[in-house]
């Protein structure tokens, strides 16, 4: 057992997150201390003191910790000391601090966080795309997320607030309450233009077409939205929920972006992760979406799924490119608490780092060669190799909603079970989370509390 004593630091969580990149959860302890004479601490074997000199620069302390961890384990991390969800944010801030000189910003980023050249180059490429194609921040507008917590089946790696669709009576009860929440927030929100609208989950297309159509109509009416004027995305993630009637309904309402998310195009993988559709169904669903004229189709793929080889991953990616999917998000598998995979194999995410690195490198080279650009990035806990997720797009087919979510510079209204809204306060450059109850049954049972919480934020004490 390693013990790391962190002196004179208020929040030791960032240090623990960095240690977790190198060591198993049960292999270390991070202990906060507050000693003026910490250098006199009597350390036992495998115990280490950080910040005996009372330094105030947390980044310097993390660099020292990083070098110690490399020495102890023989491992390195391509992301250096950076452990946060949004690795582009510090580069963007350095870009502003250095007079919008991206080379100076990148140099400062490398020095501060010890990031590898390939990850730093990727961040620069993403920042350059956003500077060129996204018109600044949008604090004077809002985005909306609407959550449908039902799926045809539950994937083994999933820890989202989603479940297998229950009886239709339960689905209808949930939908009726969600419609009430939509109308309530729409009525109490000060008049603010909506920039983007995202229906996620779960799988929104697990609803009946007329139910999903009613939800879209209610959101548009409540927030005065014309879908011809804003970005609207509907996750039709499972190909076994995609059919002519649903696609016709979406197209007729003005939805121009949908997601068809195979994660893999290997049938054995579908069985292993708990999906009840085939690769061929995914291919046919994408072709059908093209026939209906959707402007942008997004597909997610995951590197590191059980039993997948580099050739399997390459096949999935090549097939999606051949199907002319305009927007491809390449995820590194994250094995989160609450997932079946985590329960069965808690340390799964610590293996296959080299394989997944090869998968991501292959994806980057192949996508660039086919005209795709990396346009947004985020990281999650317990990802294989402590790697990342990157969204790739053909010219100007990026998702504005995805970019805004990662920027943390815009209010996002979260509606439905498991939805996490964010209020942005520009004067303070601060985000305040407004989280709905995750479990849909508890959401229904405590729905009055949901509305009270919304009232508190919209027109209440926060004066939004």
Task: Give the dihedral sign, CA 222/261/301/22.
Answer: positive
Secondary element (H or E) of residue 355: helix 353-369
Give me the DSSP letters along 9-52.
Answer: -S--HHHHHHHHHHS-GGGEEEEEE--TTGGG----TTEEEE-T
Cα(205)–Cα(200) distance, rounded to whole angstroms?
Answer: 9
CA neighbor of 159 nearest in space, from 422, 427, 418, 426: 418
Q: pLDDT tens, 43-61?
A: 889 999 998 777 779 999 9
Secondary element (H or E) of residue 191: none
pLDDT < 70: residue spans in the chain: 136-137, 152-165, 336-349, 459-464
Q: pLDDT tens, 299-350?
A: 999 999 989 999 999 999 999 999 999 999 999 998 766 566 666 666 666 7
pLDDT at 461: 46
pLDDT at 212: 97
Cα(15)–Cα(65) distance, rounded to whole angstroms?
Answer: 8
Q: pLDDT tens, 261-283?
A: 889 999 999 888 887 889 999 99
Domains of the chain: 2-73 (no CATH), 88-133 (no CATH), 142-415 (3.80.30.20)
């Amino acid at each position: 057992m390693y013990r790391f004593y962190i002196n004179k630091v208020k929040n030791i969580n960032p240090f623990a997150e960095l240690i977790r990149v190198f060591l198993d959860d049960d292999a270390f302890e991070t202990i906060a201390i507050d000693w003026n004479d910490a250098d006199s601490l009597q350390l036992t074997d495998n115990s280490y003191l950080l910040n005996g000199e009372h330094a105030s620069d947390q980044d310097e302390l993390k660099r020292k910790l990083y070098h110690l961890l490399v020495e102890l384990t023989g491992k390195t991390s391509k992301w250096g000391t950076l452990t946060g969800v949004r690795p582009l944010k510090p580069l963007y801030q350095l870009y502003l601090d250095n007079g919008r000189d991206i080379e100076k910003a990148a140099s400062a980023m490398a020095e501060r966080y010890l990031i590898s050249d390939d990850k730093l180059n990727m961040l620069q490429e993403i920042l350059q795309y956003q500077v060129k194609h996204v018109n600044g921040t949008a604090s004077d507008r809002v985005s909306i997320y609407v959550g449908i917590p039902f799926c045809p089946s539950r994937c083994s790696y999933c820890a989202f607030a989603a479940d297998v669709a229950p009886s239709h009576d339960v689905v209808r009860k949930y939908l009726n309450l969600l419609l009430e929440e939509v109308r309530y927030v729409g009525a109490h929100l000060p008049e603010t233009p909506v920039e983007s609208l995202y229906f996620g989950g779960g799988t929104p297309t697990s609803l009946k077409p007329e139910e999903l159509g009613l939800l879209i109509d209610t959101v548009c009416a409540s927030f005065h939205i014309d879908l011809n004027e804003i970005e609207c995305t509907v996750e039709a993630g499972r190909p076994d929920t995609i059919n002519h009637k649903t696609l016709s309904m979406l197209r007729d309402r003005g939805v121009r972006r949908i997601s068809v998310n195979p994660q893999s195009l290997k049938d054995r993988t579908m069985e292993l992760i708990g999906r009840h559709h085939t690769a061929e169904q995914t291919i046919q669903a994408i072709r059908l979406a093209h026939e209906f004229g959707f402007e942008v189709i997004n597909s997610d793929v995951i590197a590191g799924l059980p039993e997948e080889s580099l050739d399997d991953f390459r096949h999935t990616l090549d097939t999606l490119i051949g199907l002319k999917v305009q927007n491809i998000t390449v995820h590194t598998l994250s094995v989160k608490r609450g997932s079946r995979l985590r329960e069965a194999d808690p340390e799964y995410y610590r293996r296959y780092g080299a394989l997944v690195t090869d998968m991501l490198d292959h994806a980057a080279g192949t996508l660039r060669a086919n005209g795709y650009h990396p346009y947004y990035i985020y990281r999650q806990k317990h990802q294989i190799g402590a790697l990342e997720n990157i969204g790739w797009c053909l010219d100007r087919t990026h998702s504005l909603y995805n970019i805004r979510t990662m920027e943390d510079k815009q209010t996002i209204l979260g509606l439905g079970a498991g939805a996490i809204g964010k209020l942005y306060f520009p004067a303070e450059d601060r985000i305040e989370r407004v989280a709905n109850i995750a479990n849909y049954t508890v959401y229904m049972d405590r729905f009055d509390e949901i509305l009270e919480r919304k009232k508190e934020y919209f027109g209440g004490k926060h004066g939004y």
